Amino acid sequence: MRVGVVDYGLGNLGSVANALEHLGADHRIFRDPAEMDAFGALILPGVGAFGDCMANLERYGLAAPLAAWMAADRPLLGICLGLQVLAESSDEAPGARGFGVVPAHVARLAASPGCKVPQMGWNQVRRAPGAEDCPLLRGIPDGSWFYFVHSYCLPSAPGWAAGLTAYGGEYVSMVRRGRVAAVQFHPEKSQRAGLQLLKNFLDWSEEAP
């Protein structure tokens, strides 16, 4: 199976590609939507702003094919901003619309004593209630540490929450429903646990639905 890494001008492509290379995955960075049918799974990485991300996806003709891919329940993993754009909207870009597959709004992290914004560094992810058997977390101990860099988060994700993280308050750091999943942290920068999660995504993508 070949994995497509979506290039829309804002993704952290080098680190993601290096992690996939380390895992021995057949992968390709692509921008042309005509290439999508050649892939068995997609990774949507993201570094930047919500509005810019959606505008670039539209500009390169990727937004509608990605929406169709998710509607068909084909394997997709969003990373960081790639999680946030699955939601309906964001405090970061009033008026901009996300994909809306996750029925939620992205909010700015609330600064509090000991919790600066942006959150930059390692934090724990624990399984959300009902997500104990999440395939992306196979072999990963509950409460494992992952690397985060972000200023916005999903306070809730009805029907989608798979992982939770505490930073001031608690927010949803991982979502999944069907074959579509996303994480707020950067697995490609999260050492052993992150590589295991990426491997789990690759294995899960090849399993029968």
* Cβ atoms 66, 43 nearer than 8 A: no
pLDDT at 114: 86
Catalytic one of 134, 150, 153, 186: 186
Residues 6+ apart with CB under 8 A from 3: 20, 25, 26, 27, 28, 39, 40, 41, 42, 43, 202, 205
pLDDT at 21: 96
Active site residue 92: no
pLDDT at 48: 85
Nearest to 148 by CA among 166, 130, 162, 161: 166
pLDDT at 208: 78
Catalytic one of 134, 150, 153, 188: 188
For residue 62, count other CB atoms closer than 10 A to its CB.
Answer: 21
* Cβ atoms 182, 136 nearer than 8 A: no
pLDDT at 67: 98
Kindly give the confidence (pLDDT) of every residue in the chain, 209 residues in length, as a single tens digit, with 9 standing for 90 and above: 999 999 998 877 999 999 999 999 999 999 999 999 999 999 999 888 999 999 999 999 999 999 999 999 999 999 999 999 999 999 999 999 999 999 999 999 988 888 999 999 999 999 999 999 999 999 999 999 999 999 999 999 999 999 999 999 999 999 999 999 999 999 999 999 999 999 999 999 999 77
**Which CATH class, in words, describes the domain spanning 2-206?**
alpha beta
pTM higher than 0.85: yes
Over residues 104-126, the pLDDT tens digits come to 999 999 888 889 999 999 999 99
Active site residue 27: no
Domain boundaries, the chain: 2-206
Catalytic one of 27, 53, 80, 92: 80
Active site residue 115: no
DSSP secondary structure letters along the chain: -EEEEE-SSSS-HHHHHHHHHHTT-EEEEE--GGGGGG-SEEEE---S-HHHHHHHHHHTT-HHHHHHHHHTT--EEEETHHHHTTSSEETTSTT-----SS--EEEEPPPBTTB-SSEEEEEEEEEPTT-TT-GGGTT--TTEEEEEEESEEBS--TTTEEEEEEESEEEEEEEEETTEEEESS-GGGSHHHHHHHHHHHHHHHHS--
